[in-house]
Structure formats: C-alpha cells, structure tokens
Amino acid sequence: GSMDIPLLPMEPPAAVVVPARRHTVPARLTRARVDDEEARIEGSSRIVNLAVGALMVVGAVFHLFPLTLSHVIVAVYIIIFGAATALLEFQIPPQVARYASFLFSFIGRGVFYIFVGSLLIEVGIMDKIIGTIVGAVGIAYVALEFIPSIEPPQNMREADGGWGAEQV
C-alpha cells in the first residue's frame, strides 16, 4: 500500500516588503557636476587616445628592425593606425564613422588596441614594452564597456551609434 503523509495546516508566510530602489541622481550630482564629470572623462580619454596613437607610431619605428619586408609592411600599417588614432581626436571623417564604426565604442576601440599591441610585441624590448602598454589600454577600454555608469566620451559616440552602441 501507499503511505499517507499527513499534511499539517501551515500559515502562508508574511509578505516581505522590500523598499523599491529608485534610480535617481543624488541631489548633490547637479547637471553641472555631471557635465563636469563627462568633460573630465572626455579629456582624459582624449589624452589616452593621443598617447596610444603616438606610442603606435613610435612602436612601429622600433618594429622596422631588423629590416625585413614583413617588418616594414607591418610597421607601415601600424604607423597608419597610430596616425589615424591620434587624428580621430581632432576630426572624424564621415568615412571613418561609416567603415570603422567599431572605433566609436569602448569594446571596439579596446579590441583594436589589443590587436595593434599584439602586432607590436615581437622583437626588441621597446617593441614589447610599447605593445604591452597599447594592449593594456585596450583591455581597460574593453572593461569600461561593461561598467554601465561610464558613458563613452562624445568623440567616441558617433551619430549612428556605431557597433556596440546601446539601442535606446
């Protein structure tokens, strides 16, 4: 035979009231402070991007040696990438927004920097140092993509949003 399990009458648990968390900007974070913070992030990202562009060019010069055809070809590409990275801080040609829209998100730019950094790490000690720095900045940018409170600076947000942009 089957066993009958006696059911004891139980009272339903008392409702647990959890106060709803409201996502409001604290009063002390005025519009001016938010604008200030955005300007600070934009300024520091501009400096970082200019430095990375310059490092790419310098790293490419070190990458030329020993002088072989493959080193020259890779160095020329990295010089172009470095110059473009630096120049993007001043003006954004519409072709770049259209064909290299990945540069307008933290994750896209981060992966690009990791790629160029890995190209640089090859022969000399300077190559390794510069490639590591460029790659590390790339890793930091990829991490920033996953911190929702940090918005990409204006010059890294194109009108079309670019790849990886939030669709709102």
Give dist(CA 34, CA 6) in Å, integer.
63
Whether pLDDT at 168 is above 80: no
The per-residue pLDDT for range 70-80, each reduced to its tens digit, is 999 999 999 99
Give dist(CA 79, CA 15) in Å, integer.
65
Give dist(CA 43, CA 62) in Å, integer.
29
Q: Helices 106-120 & 31-63, crossing angle to 10 degrees?
A: 20
Residue 158 pLDDT grade (very low, low, confident, very high; cuts 50, 70, 90)? low
- Please compute the mean of the pLDDT values over residues 18-45 and round it to a whole number: 67
Q: Where are the domains of the chain?
A: 33-151
pLDDT of 56: 98
The per-residue pLDDT for range 122-147, each reduced to its tens digit, is 878 999 999 999 999 999 999 999 99
Choose between 22 and 149: higher pLDDT: 149
Widest CA span of the chain, in angstroms? 89
Residue 150 pLDDT grade (very low, low, confident, very high; cuts 50, 70, 90)? confident
In 88-164, which residue ranges form alpha helices assigned H by DSSP?
A: 94-99, 106-120, 125-145
The per-residue pLDDT for range 79-98, each reduced to its tens digit, is 999 999 999 999 988 998 89
Give dist(CA 114, CA 125) in Å, integer.
18
Q: Is the full-model pTM beyond 0.95?
A: no
Whether pLDDT at 64 is above 60: yes
- Please compute the mean of the pLDDT values over residues 147-151 and round it to a whole number: 86
Whether pLDDT at 165 is above 60: no
Give dist(CA 54, CA 136) in Å, integer.
15
Average pLDDT over the chain reads 82
Which residues 6+ apart lie within 8 Å of 82 measured at CB? Answer: 52, 53, 54, 55, 56, 57, 59, 60, 116
Closest C-alpha to 142, from 101, 166, 114, 100: 114
